[in-house]
Amino acid sequence: MTAMIDARRGTFRLAAAVTATALAFGLGAGVAAAKPKPAPHTSTEELTPPVATSTGWEILADDATHQATVWHNGVVVRTMPISMGKRKDATPNGVYHTKEKYQSLIMSSATYGVPVDSPDGYSETVYWATRMSWDGIFIHAAPWSVASQGKTDVSHGCINISTANGKWVYENLPEGTPIVVEHTSGGQYQGD
């Protein structure tokens, strides 16, 4: 039965609703159509990266979606748009672990042989930086790349996130938290 309201008259009436589908299958009065089967349930635990964590925290940085997903004890607690290394500076795929943290840090291309005054050079103060590797890869606040985060890769290899997300990572993820990077064109990370 379907309730129909006539707003002009302020009245309502009941009408029998019979669908063409029910008639086509010969369903008569007193015969109920089968309910569709619900989609299978997928728990967040099935989606966590397949890495061991001693901290209860895990991050998956997926370059295919330009998103980082954070789990705590198997439950998704945060998803954030990211920008990783552009093609010639692509972030290597693999499992990293959080290390030391800095509220502010000067990053310079001169540390890996690219002069600051060259076209690819830089010297930039970054905030809320959490080291992922001893060879200079960090997850850090990068307000200059917010328009690219979630869309494309523009960094020199680090994971760029917003200032709010950088501060959140800095404040919440303990040392030793695994960060899994996948779907980049950067080859394979060889470990800590």
Q: What angle (nearest 5°) sits at the alpha carbon of residue 139, between those of residues 138 and 142?
A: 110
Per-residue pLDDT of the chain (192 residues; tens, 9 = 90+): 444 433 333 433 433 333 333 334 444 444 444 434 434 434 444 467 889 999 999 999 999 999 999 999 999 999 999 999 999 999 999 999 999 999 999 999 998 889 999 998 999 999 999 999 999 999 999 999 999 999 999 999 999 999 999 999 999 999 999 999 999 999 999 877
What contacts 34, CB < 8 A, 6 or more positions away? none
Token digits for 170? 């800095």
| pLDDT of amino acid 11 | 39
* DSSP per-residue letters across 148-192: TTTT---BSSSEEE-HHHHHHHHHHPPTT-EEEEES-SS-B----
Closest-CA residue to 149 (of 140, 125, 38, 28): 140
pTM value is: 0.75
Cα–chain center distance at 93: 15
| pLDDT of amino acid 48 | 75
- The length of the chain in residues reads 192
CATH topology of domain 55-182: L,D-transpeptidase catalytic domain-like (2.40.440)
What contacts 100, CB < 8 A, 6 or more positions away? 130, 131, 175
| pLDDT of amino acid 96 | 97
| pLDDT of amino acid 172 | 98
How far, in Å, CA of 61 to CA of 155, rounded?
Answer: 14
Active site members: 140, 158
What does the pLDDT look like over 25-65, one tens digit per residue?
444 444 444 434 434 434 444 467 889 999 999 999 999 99
Beta bridge partners of 168: none
**C-beta separation of 103 from 170 below 8 A:** yes
Cα–chain center distance at 145: 16
